[in-house]
Amino acid sequence: MEWVRLPIRGWKALWGLKKSRELVSVLVVAVSIFMAMGPRKWNFGQSSGCNFPAVYNCGDSNSDTGGRYIDGQVIIDLIAQKLGLPYLSAYLDSIAANFQHGANFATGGSTIQPVDSRIFEAGFSPISLDIQLMQFEQFKERINELYKFSGKSSIKRGFPRLDCFSKALYILDIGQNDLYAGFKYSTEMQVLTSIPNITNLFALVVEKLYQHGARNFWVHNTGPIGCLPFSVINNPQNTENADENGCVRSHNEVAKEFNRQLKETVSRLSAQLSDAVLIYVDIYSAKYTLITEAKQHGFANPIGYCCGHNGDYFMHCGMKGMVNGTEVYGASCSDPSTYISWDGMHYSHAANQWIANHIMDGSFSDPPIPITEACHKIVH
């Protein structure tokens, strides 16, 4: 969530810039979507009942596919596969990317709230949700220019048709880092009082996307942040603040309050944006169910993790460091498929597969619509 493990060329350039929002915008404009197009990874699945021609995703490391790093197969990849679409190319890694069926604006460490200097220095991404919206707006504008001024069909290969924007599925999976940053720099009560502002900022972005023609939204709430091994490590256990799974109870309570207010926001937007379809997806319940039932699904310690090391010393996954004069390395376990958490902060490939299978059929959605039918509005 905070640290960079597998940086890509687009991110390195960005991270070295000054922290002004203007310079971030300049970089995004400079990302050339007119480079040679080629697929990142193709894996087609079943066709969608709604036949979404594209998916546009905004989010953090839970759905990042190369904006900051690639952390294996994330849920957004599995969703694209379910819809019969290729995996989404990261907007910030546009060289050899293919945007014909959508784009991924998510970057690891992103927040809904704009990032201040303290949060930036702590390693969080400057690409907050409002910047991701700006990226989308610039992308759409340049696609419009491409079709307006170019008569060569070969140039348009790798880009979406103009009508894709109104027919696409828009996924938003963000908010966890707002809570995590709050826990790190303020009190839990201060985090709670900040939630209305966070959800209001979220609503503004949805409204802006709607103004740009977006009509189909698939909104993920935030997961049980108190069950992340990294949260447990940094919050010494006591019986009063640990639940039956060993998770940090108070952190999960804040996450549930954020989700309650987010759900209210989505309901309000659904009534306000009359011809839009907004599906609220309870990622929290899906993940907590997996953690509670970990052993019966073949997973080991639900709050253990595969890559990195904790014990006499803590070392991030894939990192090296000196401990008592000896170099140590945060290596991977022998069988990642037995762990829910990959590195203490992100879910493993196997866990993401289980979660994706249980959210895409509508079991954890309100209204309970499967993702393949997420263009159909239920009239109460």
Catalytic residues: 61, 343, 346
Share of the chain residues as helix, strand and coil, in percent rounded to the nearest 5? 40, 10, 45
User: What SS3 class is residue 264?
Assistant: helix
Q: What is the DSSP string of 16-59?
A: TS-S-HHHHHHHHHHS-TTSPP--S-----PPPSS--S-EEEEE
Q: Could you tell me if 82 and 67 are in contact, meaning their C-beta atoms sit under 8 angstroms apart?
A: no
Rounded CA gap, 374 and 234, in Å?
39
**Taking a C-beta distance cutoff of 8 angstroms, is the pair 111, 128 a contact?**
yes
Asked if residue 128 lies in contact with residue 113, where contact means CB atoms within 8 angstroms, the answer is yes
Q: How far apart are CA 172 and CA 219, in angstroms?
A: 5
CA distance 306 to 332: 6
Instruction: Measure the CA–CA gap between 68 and 5, rounded to whole angstroms.
Output: 9
Residue type, 230: F
What is the spatial distance between Cα 11 and Cα 106, in angstroms, rounded to a whole number?
12
Q: Distance from CA of residue 206 to its chain's centroid?
A: 16
Task: Fill in the amino acid letter for 117.
Answer: S
Nearest CA to 229 out of 246, 209, 204, 250 is that of 246
Side-chain-facing half-sphere of 320: CA atoms under 13 Å: 3
Read off the amino acid at residue 16.
G
Residues 6+ apart with CB under 8 A from 302: 227, 245, 246, 290, 291, 292, 294, 340
From the CB of residue 379, how many other CB atoms can be counted at a distance below 10 Å? 4
Q: Which two tokens stand for residue 177?
A: 């880092």
